Amino acid sequence: MSNLPEKFAIEPERYEFRAAPMHQFELARRDFFKILGAGIAVFVITRDVAASQETAPGSRSFHNEELPKEISGWLHIGEDGSVTAFTGKAEIGQNIRTSLAQTVADELRVPFESVRMVTADTALTPFDAGTFGSRTTPTMTPQFRRVAAAARDLLIGVAAKEWGVAPEGLSAANAKVTDPASGRSLRYAELARGKTLAQNLPAEDPMTPESQWTVAGKPIPKVDGRTFVTGKHEYTPDLRLEGMLHGKVLRPPSFGATILSYDDSAAKAMTGVVIVHDGDFIGAAAPTAHETQKALDAIRVQWKEVPQISNKEIFAYLKKNAAAKSDDRGRRQKGSVEEGLASAAHRLDATYNVAYIAHAPLEPRAAVAQWADGKLTVWTGTQRPFANRDELADVFHLPESNVRVIVPDTGSAYGGKHTSDAAIEAARLARAAQRPVKVVWSREEEFTWAYFRPAGVIEVKSGIASDGTLTAWEFHNYHSGTSGIDTPYVVANQRTEYHAVPLILRSGSYRGLAATANHFARETHMDALARVAQMDSLEFRMKNLSDARMRAVLEAAAKSFGWPRKKTQDGQGFGLACGYEKGSYVATCAEVAVEKSSGAVRVVRVVESFECGAIVNPDGLRNQVVGAIIQGLGGALFEAIGFENGRIKNPHFASYRVPRFRDVPEIEAVLLDRKDIPSAGAGETPIMSVAPAIGNALFDASGVRINNLPMVPNGLRSA
Amino acid sequence: MAKTIELEVNGKKYPVNYPPDTPLLYVLRDELGLTGSKYGCGEGQCGACTVLIGGAPRRSCQIPVSSAAGKPVTTIEGLETGGRLHPVQQAFLDAGAFQCAFCTSGMIMSSVGLLQTNSNPSQSEIIQSLQGNICRCGTHPRVIEAVRQAAKMIQEHGR
């Protein structure tokens, strides 16, 4: 995103910042063709590596040698004309299996149906740090464009040689190379036949401009849709291997509990049961889940538990235990906040609190592990297959080459499936059982032993001039993170700091990361400031914004919503919010209805405009945007993890409320397609502005300003 | 203690030998290999395991296998006939009413159950009957649209 101002440089969230180093890539070229059959293969390598090669890689073919280590994408055209493209990214419901195939088909000039994506398999796909940070579209789209463009050139070259003509005059379309001079043509399948031709290239080839896309940019339905509506798609929990056992882990009663005494004699006496007690790991595996549970129930363990803080005191705790010095990441300083505050006509300070929430993906964490000849294969629903592989290799003292991790298309993740817990558990039990073992976490385990979006405290100090111009902005985030921490508004005097706090509950990535917390605080605060300035909140934002893309999404959302709107009934309220993160822009307008007698809150309508550059698949994008709005409703209104003394108090869907059909408002997603801007990701940003837009509408409806997420877990009591 | 009972699933009879209180879901998935019905919570809260028992949508994680004996059970695998999708399946496909699709089997089975007793449900009746089905990806508006489309298809062409 070279056209972005420096302050918008994309920085990995600290919880995501666990990227493994680039690793040795074991697959040799000859193995590659052994797996895929003969044909034509093209690999794209990163620019840095290309520059360091002795010969120009663009013209170099390689034979029977290791593939370059820094390959980031590759593509194979088989003798039957089938196209297979490989990426280490995982399909977790965000629809990349479809959108990336569109990109390949578009650039290679083949029908969409002929492209197959192989994803997230450490033995077959290039190294990838993980499917997070909305990085799949901005990184993989240009890479697949380049690799497909190079493959096209290669096919043209083969045809030119065949015909004894210059390649410049030939053209490629509809999976054929054509010579316009003679009218003759050869299908890609014919050109690939009998070849084992491979080429690597630097990641700089010219690509088709967004305005000339033909397959990309279209609302192509989800690949394999039929396998999902017929129940045939096999998610990790659906896999069944010959002789497989069902494994389960005996969890401590609370976080940090240690074993005082242990007796598994009764469990071990059961037939067909394998018990593992290794350090603080206790697990069992048996032919049926029922037998496994019976065995675990028969194990006698005494635990030593430790007192721990509860959700009631968490916000005071975060403030008290913050690092003395703010973190380098997130620190911004401009002008003098003190002077800006002193010169302000109005000042407004506020504190915002954000609770821990859970991802609660409908497919729980799961893994199937199989050992053979000292080699380990694990199928698991993870966003980080290569990191899982490394962790497995580490835990079991294996070379990475002896571990393979395969990710079946997964029942969602939302940032929650970075770790390799289930994979390690299944592998440990499988090693003891000497048979394949499947571990599927229960919903209660999911809610307890996964990890959470961290809680946070945010303090804001601000000042405005009498005409509504921001004069000072000071923003401190405690614990929740740095994503979206920078204000997009023009403020001469500003200070932004992030204060780390040691983890209390196991915390990590979540769709949008801390951007939701930071946008909630900032956009709620901006709404309150607009009230102080006695300005319409859209007008107030516009006055303090110069970024044309931000202004455009705000205008688009306001227009579709009909902002400003007049209230026509009691308890009605309207609010808006906007934001920028990870290369994309969002603005949300919300209408709420508050029933004064009961305090019941209903979100009536949400209009959200979103702009992420050139749209690759408007249908998939609409699903992601609408989905983010609905998921965002939960964290905005009622989702919160309760905890006390190392126990989760609401580890069930009955006690942890997630949005359901009755909670869903009328939704309109306004997608702005900018063909002149490279495509950014869309999985996260659309969630950020939902909570503040609703909160601002609640204030408009009731006069009650709520500075805590979730806002109304028990309704709006004081309305 | 395990005792052999006979289950009728998707028109086929299966003798199964499981403890009678075992949830039907586990028998379907682990014994019969019908993994289209999903485990999402095991507590009857998410609807991912929904099947039809005697034509009515039920949470198979809450139904002891013994009480399903003698009643026709239909799972997502049993909806397709002769390679032709059930109208509800077709409508979900047409509407793109899924993202990760882990909830989809349960959503479809709940919707089939609804349309069997109410061929022309209102918006609020659709919402009411799907309230027990969780979609974490937030595809609810398209699911509602798919059920409407399916109702139309069934009215026009029959099942």
CB A195 within 8 A of CB A38: yes
B152/B120 Cα distance (integer angstroms): 8
Verdict on whether the full-model pTM lies above 0.90:
yes
In sequence order, which ranges of A109-176 are alpha helices (DSSP H)? Answer: 141-163
Give rounded-to-5 percent helix, strand, coil for chain B. 40, 20, 40
Question: By CB neighbour count within 10 A (0-12 exposed, 13-18 middle, 19+ buried), where does A644 fall?
Answer: middle
A696 to A4, A25, A193, A529: CA distances (angstroms):
29, 51, 63, 12
A626 CB near a chain B CB, below 8 Å? yes
Beta strands in A196-321 (DSSP E): 196-202, 245-249, 258-263, 274-278, 281-286, 300-304
Contact A94 B79 (CB under 8 A): no
Contact B102 A360 (CB under 8 A): no
A172 to A151, A196, A202: CA distances (angstroms):
11, 21, 21
Q: How far is B124 from chain A (nearest CA, A)?
A: 9
Q: Which CATH class name applies to A236-305+380-440?
A: alpha beta
Token code pair at residue A367: 């893994």
HSE, side-chain direction, 13 A CA sphere, residue A592? 33
Tens-place pLDDT, residues A470-499? 999 999 999 999 999 999 999 999 999 999
Peptide bond into A408 cis (omega under 30): no
pLDDT value, residue A65: 37
Contact A290 B48 (CB under 8 A): no
Tell me chain A's radius of gyration from C-alpha atoms: 27
Tens-place pLDDT, residues B99-128? 999 999 999 999 999 999 999 999 999 999
pLDDT value, residue A12: 35
Q: Is A521 helix (H, G, I), strand (E, B) or coil?
A: helix
Distance of CA A388 to the CA centre of its chain: 16
Contact A414 B45 (CB under 8 A): no
- Mutation to test the B interface, candidates A362, A383, A437, A663, most B Cβ within 10 Å: A362
DSSP assignment of A429-465, as one string? HHHHHTS-EEEE--HHHHHHHS-EEPPEEEEEEEEE-
Beta strands in A483-636 (DSSP E): 494-499, 572-581, 584-595, 600-611
pLDDT value, residue A201: 67
Token code pair at residue A500: 């780390």
pLDDT value, residue A300: 98
Fold topology of A321-357+452-709: Aldehyde Oxidoreductase; domain 4 (3.30.365)
Q: Which CATH architecture has domain B87-157?
A: Orthogonal Bundle (1.10)
Residue whose C-alpha is closest to residue A563's, from A542, A593, A534: A542
Contacts of B92 in chain A (CB under 8 A): 229
| A-chain residue closest to B36, CA distance | A231
Q: What CATH code would you report for B3-78?
A: 3.10.20.30
pLDDT value, residue A2: 33
Q: What CATH code would you report for A6-218?
A: 3.30.365.10
In this structure, the number of other CB atoms found within 10 A of the CB of residue A573 comes to: 22
> Please, which residues bridge with residue A590 across strands?
A575, A606
A 199-218 residues with CB below 8 A of B?
Answer: none
Sequence spans of domains, chain B: 3-78, 87-157
A239/B35 Cα distance (integer angstroms): 8
B 69-108 residues with CB below 8 A of A?
Answer: 75-77, 79-80, 85, 89-90, 92-93, 96, 98-105, 108
Contacts of B101 in chain A (CB under 8 A): 93, 228-229, 233, 411
Contacts of B61 in chain A (CB under 8 A): none
Evaluate if residue B22 carries a pLDDT over 60: yes
Contacts of A440 in chain B (CB under 8 A): 39
Residue whose C-alpha is closest to residue A482's, from A345, A627, A328, A255: A328
B87-157 has the same fold as B3-78: no
CB A220 within 8 A of CB A213: no
| A-chain residue closest to B133, CA distance | A660
pLDDT value, residue A58: 32
- Mutation to test the A interface, candidates B29, B111, B134, B136, most A Cβ within 10 Å: B136
Backbone angles phi, psi at A208, to 5 degrees: -70, 130
B 35-74 residues with CB below 8 A of A?
Answer: 35-43, 45-46, 48
Residue whose C-alpha is closest to residue A191's, from A208, A204, A179, A203: A179
Query: In residues, how long is chain A?
Result: 719
A478/A490 Cα distance (integer angstroms): 23
- Mutation to test the B interface, candidates A92, A218, A222, A228, most B Cβ within 10 Å: A228
pLDDT mean across residues, chain B: 96
CB B61 within 8 A of CB B70: no
A629/A516 Cα distance (integer angstroms): 12
CATH 3.30.365.10, chain A: domain bounds: 6-218, 321-357+452-709
HSE, side-chain direction, 13 A CA sphere, residue A81? 16
Read off the amino acid at residue B149: Q
Token code pair at residue A503: 């983890």
Contacts of B40 in chain A (CB under 8 A): 362-364, 443
Contacts of B64 in chain A (CB under 8 A): none
Show the low-confidence residues of chain A (pLDDT under 50). Answer: 1-26, 47-69, 719
Contacts of B133 in chain A (CB under 8 A): 660-661
A273/A288 Cα distance (integer angstroms): 10
CB A167 within 8 A of CB A156: yes
Cβ-nearest to B138 among A229, A440, A628: A628
